[in-house]
Amino acid sequence: MALQGCTLEADLVSLRETIHTQLENYVSAASNPGLGDCPETLRESVAYSLLAGGKRLRPVLVLLACEACGGDVDAALPAACAIEMVHTYSLIHDDLPAMDNDDYRRGRLTNHKVFGEGLAILAGDALLTLAFEIIAKEIQPGSVAAACCADLASAAGWCGMVAGQVADIEAENREGTLSGEHVLQEVSDDNLIRSAALAQLESIHRRKTGRLLSSAVTLGARIAQVSQESLHRLEQFGNRIGLAFQIADDLLDVTGDAKKLGKGVRKDASLGKMTYPKLLGINESRQRAEALIAEGCQFLTPFGDRAGKLIALAQFVTQRDH
């Protein structure tokens, strides 16, 4: 069932091309005469961030999960693009001065640095709204479209991604609880505090990134119209790779190369931010991510060879260097 690394890489390149082309179709004026009511600056601001590249992990997960469930991958493409729009909106808003105040993203100036804060807020709003419009209009039948909208909204909303961002900001602002050197001192003294901090860190990441990654997997499964039991299996898989991805991301901030990543590294440490490597060390963090992936992949056993690419992607997540 295991795929060669090079095969996966080739598959990823091809899938990313398909996704990029479709995203371009949605936001280019030329291929979209229906955009007549959209101000050109708004369209440019949306396209600037959406077409900036990135790993396209979420849309790839939608497509591979659909394939694993025996569904038609082409039919899942609108949902794949929609989830990338939700991810991109969250990056634009998170980068704003009122939040993380970042100047660079994916190796380019952040949206508000180029288009101004007002337009960046509105471009994010537009992308979030467009995601639901695309799923509602293009996923068939309507009952599946509604289930996908519900799934995505629940993952992205005030008990999911938005909650995670609020919790993250609050944890950074709070003194002497989760973040900062002071806590680390306590943490090393006391296993109880260490495990409480770990639970809090997981709670933030589960909402901030885990829920959306998990919904990428369930969207693909819903479009393939799988049974409730299969949907549950993919959900369990998605929850685990969602967390593993965040641990891998924290590790890359410590061990990664800024050039390959297209963004600054060692930022978490300089902000005194709590991360997995800080709490568990590099080796234990890596082991934890690998264990989560292995556990997640167990849930895919009944899907057989069809889940090969999805499993290969999950394994790749903890091994990537960018």
In the complex, the residues that contact a copy of itself under the rule CB under 8 A are 34-39, 41-43, 46, 89, 93, 96, 98-99, 116-119, 121-122, 124-126, 128-130, 132-133, 135-137, 139, 141-147, 149-150, 153-154, 156-160, 162-163, 165-167, 169-170, 207
Please say which residue, 8 or 224, places its beta carbon nearer to a copy of itself.
Answer: 224
Give 164 or 277: the residue with its C-beta nearer to a copy of itself. 164
Q: Among residues 107 and 142, whose Cβ is nearest to a copy of itself?
A: 142
Task: Output the smallest distance, CB 53 to a copy of itself, in A.
Answer: 21
Q: Which DSSP string corresponds to 10-77?
A: HHHHHHHHHHHHHHHHHH-STT-GGGGGS-HHHHHHHHHHHTS----HHHHHHHHHHHHTT--HHHHH
How many whole angstroms separate alpha carbon 180 and alpha carbon 115? Answer: 33
Please give the DSSP secondary-structure letter assigned to residue 3. P
Nearer to a copy of itself by Cβ, of 18 and 90: the residue is 90
CB 221 within 8 A of CB 69: yes
**CA nearest to 59, candidates 183, 152, 124, 174:** 152
Residue 142 or 281: the one with the smaller Cβ distance to a copy of itself is 142
Measured from the CB of residue 97, what is the shortest distance to a copy of itself in angstroms?
A: 8
CB of 203 to a copy of itself, least distance (A): 8
* Residue 73 Cβ vs a copy of itself, minimum distance, rounded to whole Å: 21
How far is it, in rounded angstroms, from Cα 235 to Cα 221? 9
